[in-house]
């Protein structure tokens, strides 16, 4: 967000695009001019404060879509790959669905799960945490 010449209408159109097409998995950043690039010399810079606000609006739209799509999974049974086994110190196992990449996407928090790392388990989705991660329990 914030490329030289970008307008309020351009930014609003992107927010609406994210909502309309339900794009819940995207990364965004604010533009920063880099010396030696063709954009470095362009005029009509977008003020940093405006660029940050537009960036925040795009991420808020993404988060809304993501929360809705994650919420639609409540009550479903999904296959989850265990990335971190539960222990006495950390009684919740951490896994991910086939939709999620390690370390960059969402996780599944599994209650009462004794599965080892690398194991795939069937899990009933019980709800979401505050960051839209799935909360689940293993099923037989």
SS3 97: coil
- Between vectors from CA 41 to CA 36 and to CA 46, what angle results, nearest 5°? 120
Task: Answer whether residue 109 is part of any domain.
Answer: yes
Q: Are both 14 and 40 inside the same structural domain?
A: yes
- Residues 54, 84 within the same domain: no
Q: Can you give the pLDDT at residue 44?
A: 80
Per the confidence metrics, is the pTM higher than 0.75? yes
Tens of pLDDT along the chain (140 residues) come to 999 889 999 999 999 999 999 999 999 999 988 888 887 888 888 999 999 999 999 999 999 999 999 999 999 999 999 999 999 999 999 999 999 998 889 999 999 999 999 999 999 999 999 999 999 999 98
* Backbone conformation region of residue 100, classed left if phi is above 0, alpha if psi is from -120 to 50, else beta: beta
CATH number for the domain spanning 115: value is: 2.40.50.140
Residue 85 lies in a domain: yes
Are 85 and 114 members of one domain?
yes
Domain count for the chain: 2
Are residues 16 and 30 located together in one domain of the fold?
A: yes
- 86 and 105 share one domain: yes
Which residue range forms the structural domain that includes residue 29?
8-71
Q: Does 1 reside within a domain?
A: no
End-to-end CA separation in angstroms for the chain:
46
- Domain-located, residue 32: yes
For residue 14, being part of any structural domain is answered with: yes
- Position 108 in a domain: yes
What is the pLDDT at residue 103?
85
């Amino acid at each position: 967000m914030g490329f030289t010449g970008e307008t309020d209408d351009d930014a609003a159109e992107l927010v609406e695009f994210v909502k309309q097409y339900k794009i819940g998995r995207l990364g965004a950043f604010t533009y920063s001019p880099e010396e030696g690039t063709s954009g470095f010399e362009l005029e009509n810079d977008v003020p940093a404060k405006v660029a940050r606000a537009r960036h925040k609006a795009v991420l808020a739209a993404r988060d809304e879509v993501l929360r809705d799509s994650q919420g639609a999974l409540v009550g479903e049974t999904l296959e989850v790959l265990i990335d971190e086994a539960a222990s006495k110190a950390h009684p919740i196992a951490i896994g991910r669905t086939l939709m999620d990449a390690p370390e960059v996407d969402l996780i599944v928090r599994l209650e009462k799960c004794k599965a080892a790392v690398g194991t795939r388990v069937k899990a009933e989705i019980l709800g979401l945490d505050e960051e839209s991660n799935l909360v689940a329990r293993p099923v037989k």
